[in-house]
Amino acid sequence: MAYKETFWMACDSTEQLRAEYGPFHTRAEAEAEARKLNFGYLLRYEHLIGDNEDIQEVRCIFIELPDATPAAQGMRIVRKLHTRCATCGESAVHDEPWQAEVWADIHEFEHTRHRVRLFEQTRKEGLKEIGDWRDTCA
C-alpha cells in the first residue's frame, strides 16, 4: 500500500543552487528557522512511497514567506569581497573594501608583475568582477 511522506525545509531561494536547512516535521518549525536564518522560502518535499518502501515520486513545492525580503525586514544584503591573483591564483575573502586593497597591495609588492582582481559576491547577483577597482578605491 503506497503512502505519502512530507517534510519541510527552510531555503534561501528558488534557484537550483540554493541553501536548504532542515528537514522539519512541521511547517511551523521550518518557518521559524527560516526567519532566524533570514531565508525567504519554505520548501515542502512530498515523497510517494511504494509497496517496497521505495520512493516512487518526489514533489517539491516552494512557498514564499510574506515580508521575508531583506529590504522589507530592514536587513542589509550580505556582501563578500574576493581577491584573486590573475598570475598565481592565490586568493582571499574580505568583509571590507579596504581589507581587499591592503591584501592586493601586499601581494603585488611581494610578487612583482602579479595582478590582483577583485570580485563581489551577493546572494542575489552571485559572483561578479569589479573592473578598474584600483581607480575607484582611490
What is the tens place of the pLDDT at every residue in 80-108? 899 999 999 999 989 888 899 999 999 99
**Is the pLDDT reported for residue 136 higher than 60?**
no
- Which residues are CB-contacts of 24 (< 8 A; sequence separation ≥ 6)? 7, 8, 9, 10, 30, 33
Q: Which three cell numbers stand for residue 126?
A: 552571485
Question: How confident is the model at residue 53, as a pLDDT?
Answer: 86
- pLDDT for 35-63, tens place per residue? 888 888 999 999 998 888 888 899 999 99
DSSP assignment of 96-129 equals SHHHHHHHHHHHHHHSTT--EEEEEEETTTEEEE
- pLDDT for 6-29, tens place per residue? 999 999 888 888 889 999 999 999
Question: How confident is the model at residue 19, as a pLDDT?
Answer: 86
The CA radius of gyration of the chain, in Å to the nearest whole number, is 22
- Please provide the size of the chain in residues: 138
Q: Which three cell numbers stand for residue 84?
A: 584573486
Q: How confident is the model at residue 115 (pLDDT cuts 50, 70, 90)?
A: very high
Cα–Cα distance measured from residue 135 to residue 43, given in angstroms and rounded to the nearest whole number: 44
Structural domain boundaries in the chain: 3-64, 79-137
Question: How confident is the model at residue 67, as a pLDDT?
Answer: 73
**Is the pLDDT reported for residue 68 higher than 70?**
no
Which residue stretches of 12-62 are H helix? 27-36
Q: Which three cell numbers stand for residue 32?
A: 521559524
